[in-house]
Amino acid sequence: MRIASLAMYASPPPLAEATAKLWDFLSQALKRTGLDEVPAKLDDAVDYHQAWTRPDLMLAQTCGFPYVKHLRGKVKLVATPVYGHPGCDGPLMCSFIVVAKDSGAQSVEDVRGGRAAINQPDSNSGVNLFRAVVAPLSRDGRFFSSVIETGGHRNSIAAITNRKADVAAIDCVTYGNMLRFDPESLAGIRILAETFNGPGLPLITRADASDAEVALMRQILQQAIAEPSLATMRDVLCLQDFAVLSDADYEPLAELERQAQRLGYPVIA
């Protein structure tokens, strides 16, 4: 049996339930086509980073920056979800640079010398897009007084609320989900600025998946967008469509890193 992992937007709980319903539909539809080894349920035991390169992977969602940095040639792109949250533009999305609600900062320049929170070093939304905004402002490779790694966007927001950090970049889908289902967690922060946008978090499969299997998955994903009985699921996930993007469409994310390196700011610091 192959595995499926859709763990990138699985909290708060309504999102996990909706994601499970989406996979239930996809799984049953794929089985009806005669495709072998389709898992009935999402795998929540395997860390999502590990799922990306599993040889038995059927479908997973990754982040755009890990894709261009580590996964190209090791996986195949299937489709990119189109979300309807503010900050999304078709399959493109930005991050919101956030500060404490009572912060006096009026621009990114105003947080120079502050404490930054990042979710993970290979995050597109929490690091790559954030770095692209800060790099032109940096001096001798530095902009912040310190940087802490929190392990997740929600943790970065909590770090600001708890006065352990002054600024972070939160992807607009996470922010939109929290605004709808966990607004109290956002009560202590405000949006200072938006980053550049770039292609969103792609769905991927293993590198040796046949073109026919990839085409089949794309077809079933479109059925999930059109299926009337899944209207509530789509509303909860704020899911509007799936777009088919190419490797070239993700290349601008790699270029953002190269540009920061040319400006002498290779890492958030």
8 A C-beta contact, residue 50 and residue 244: no
Q: What is the pLDDT of residues 10-59, one digit of tens each?
A: 888 999 999 999 999 999 999 999 998 999 999 988 888 899 999 999 99
Spell out the domains of the chain, with CATH numbers in brackets.
3-84+199-249 (3.40.190.10), 95-196 (3.40.190.10)
* Both tokens assigned to 66: 């890990």
8 A C-beta contact, residue 48 and residue 8: yes
Distance from C-alpha of 10 to C-alpha of 58, rounded to nearest angstrom: 18
For residue 153, with 0-12 CB atoms within 10 Å meaning exposed, 13-18 middle and 19 or more buried, which class applies? buried
**Distances from the Cα of 204 to the Cαs of 64, 180, 200, 214, 236, in angstroms?**
11, 27, 12, 9, 22
Confidence of residue 207 (pLDDT cuts 50, 70, 90): very high
Rounded to two decimals, the pTM is 0.95
Distance from C-alpha of 129 to C-alpha of 124, rounded to nearest angstrom: 6
Q: What is the pLDDT of residues 129-150, one digit of tens each?
A: 999 999 999 999 999 999 999 9
Q: What 3-state class would DSSP assign to 8?
A: coil
CA angle 94, 97, 100 (to 5 degrees): 150
Angle between helices 153-161 and 172-181 (to 10 degrees): 70
8 A C-beta contact, residue 138 and residue 147: no
Distance from C-alpha of 230 to C-alpha of 64, rounded to nearest angstrom: 27
Over residues 182-193, the mean pLDDT reads: 97
Distance from C-alpha of 167 to C-alpha of 160, rounded to nearest angstrom: 7
**Distances from the Cα of 103 to the Cαs of 95, 170, 194, in angstroms?**
19, 17, 17
8 A C-beta contact, residue 253 and residue 130: no
Q: What is the pLDDT of residues 161-187, one digit of tens each?
A: 999 999 999 999 999 999 999 999 999
Confidence of residue 244 (pLDDT cuts 50, 70, 90): very high
Looking at residue 14, its pLDDT comes to 95
Angle between helices 13-32 and 172-181 (to 10 degrees): 110
Please give the share of the chain, as a percent, with pLDDT higher than 90: 96
Looking at residue 11, its pLDDT comes to 84
Helix H or strand E segment including 115:
strand 115-118
Q: Is residue 127 predicted with pLDDT exceeding 90? A: yes
